[in-house]
Amino acid sequence: MKNIYLILLSFLIISCSENAPEEPYLWFEENEIETDYHSSFHSIPIYANVEYSIHSVGDYFSNCEIKDQNDTLYISIPENKYSFDIYHEFRLDDYSYFLLADTLLILQKGNPNVDSGGNSGGSGTSGGGSSVNEGTSSRRCAAITKKGTRCKRMASKGSIYCWQHKKLR
């Protein structure tokens, strides 16, 4: 008799767990992509069980063409016509109250065939110097503040977040 109760109890637990609501989720399959200066096309799967929106975070979004179809983000990036690196940033946000979000950063390298201009002093061919963009981060933090605005700090090197928001991730 005891065994019958255990079997019934096990069956009840298993059947209840199958009906439990699924935990909400939302993320890009990739968070960072590095590409050369040529034009490129990327398709990044989106994993979500909530309604979401995609928006840009950054200044160069207008140059990119994006399309969200069947939980995949399609991004077409034109050739970088500048000598400096360009960061294309995209953010996923859910429409519900779960406050889910994810960020995608595409780093497009500077075009080596373009004169950087602004090299003052020296011949420009001497050794030992470093380029202006080498090892520095010149993009804003991708975090959204409690007020709903974008953080005004600069992102830490190797991250899309500033020192404060990097700790919270």
What is the C-alpha separation between 19 and 9, in angstroms, rounded? 16
Q: Is 74 helix (H, G, I), strand (E, B) or coil?
A: strand
Q: What is the pLDDT of residue 36?
A: 93
pLDDT band at 155, cuts 50/70/90?
confident
At the top level of CATH, the class of 22-113 is mainly beta
Residues recorded for the chain: 169
What is the H or E stretch that residue 14 is in? helix 2-18
> Tell me: the pLDDT tens digits for 58-81?
655 457 888 999 899 999 999 988
Q: Give the residue extent of every domain in the chain.
A: 22-113, 139-169
Beta strands per DSSP E along 49-122? 52-56, 65-69, 72-77, 86-94, 101-108
